[in-house]
Chain A
Amino acid sequence: TQLLEQSPQFLSIQEGENLTVYCNSSSVFSSLQWYRQEPGEGPVLLVTVVTGGEVKKLKRLTFQFGDARKDSSLHITAAQPGDTGLYLCAGSRAGGTSYGKLTFGQGTILTVHP
């Protein structure tokens, strides 16, 4: 059972377009992280959101954490070829046996064509 559903899994767009990636769950997370990964490299942290309803901006990237802390979205404005990569959301739960572990979404492979 995938606890964090990420969509879409594949996204191929033209330079300048906008896009949104979603991560949804029925579980509550104490924090949610977004990573970007390029082929042959490890994931690089983009942002961590911890408060329900929180919105964070990183240049052309906007991250939102749902009010109930069960879902999150990543919106990219005016995508550029340099945004191409695998985007991963990952949620952390506060207690129990899963404390400290990250639950990863399936990932979104984004390709931005010039």
Chain B
Amino acid sequence: GAVVSQHPSWVICKSGTSVKIECRSLDFQATTMFWYRQFPKQSLMLMATSNEGSKATYEQGVEKDKFLINHASLTLSTLTVTSAHPEDSSFYICSGRQPGRETQYFGPGTRLLVL
């Protein structure tokens, strides 16, 4: 149980385009989902917290207009990287948390390469 999927698993795009990444909880309802960014051989950096039906809360230094997050249902959250640039290239990981529980279950990640 507690499986989270992400789509796509990898994406290559041109600079200036927008990219949408989906995060789905497959066998549980995730009232809260988190989006992380990870650089090679480093730990995870929290970007934002999204609660179903409300606006996302962004961490300090993360541009909310750059990284649009939508959590429209209890099983789906999306991250849209708008007007992507090469410095946005990274490994993006989402996680889901059940109501009342502290454990987060992570997706397999999406590798984004912006040319």
Whether A88 contacts B106 by the Cβ 8 Å rule is: no
Residues of A within 8 A of B42 (CB): 106-107
Residues of B within 8 A of A16 (CB): none
CB distance from B50 to the nearest CB of A (A): 11
A44 to B4, CA, bound (A): 11
Contact residues on B (Cβ < 8 Å of other chain), bracket? 20 to 34
Whether B102 contacts A31 by the Cβ 8 Å rule is: yes
Contact residues on A (Cβ < 8 Å of other chain), bracket? 20 to 34
Residue from the list A30, A88, A106 in contact with B102, Cβ < 8 A: A30
A4 to B109, CA, bound (A): 23
A9 to B108, CA, bound (A): 23
Residues of A within 8 A of B105 (CB): 45
CB distance from A32 to the nearest CB of B (A): 10
A44 to B103, CA, bound (A): 11
Whether A88 contacts B43 by the Cβ 8 Å rule is: yes
Whether A42 contacts B46 by the Cβ 8 Å rule is: no
Q: Is B97 an interface residue (CB 8 A)?
A: yes
Chain A interface mostly: strand
Residue from the list B6, B41, B46, B93 in contact with A43, Cβ < 8 A: B93
Whether A42 contacts B93 by the Cβ 8 Å rule is: yes
Residues of A within 8 A of B111 (CB): 40
Q: Is B12 an interface residue (CB 8 A)?
A: no
The interface of chain B, by Cβ under 8 A from chain A, is: 4, 6, 32, 34, 41-44, 46, 49, 91, 93, 97, 102-109, 111
16 contacts between A and B (CB under 8 A): A31-B103, A33-B102, A33-B103, A42-B4, A42-B106, A43-B93, A45-B106, A48-B103, A86-B41, A90-B104, A92-B102, A101-B46, A102-B104, A104-B44, A107-B42, A107-B43
- Given A30-B102, A42-B109, output 12 extra A-B contacts at Cβ < 8 Å: A6-B43, A31-B102, A33-B103, A35-B106, A42-B107, A43-B44, A44-B106, A45-B106, A48-B103, A92-B102, A100-B102, A109-B41
The interface of chain A, by Cβ under 8 A from chain B, is: 6, 30-31, 33, 35, 40-45, 48, 50, 86, 88, 90, 92, 100-102, 104-107, 109
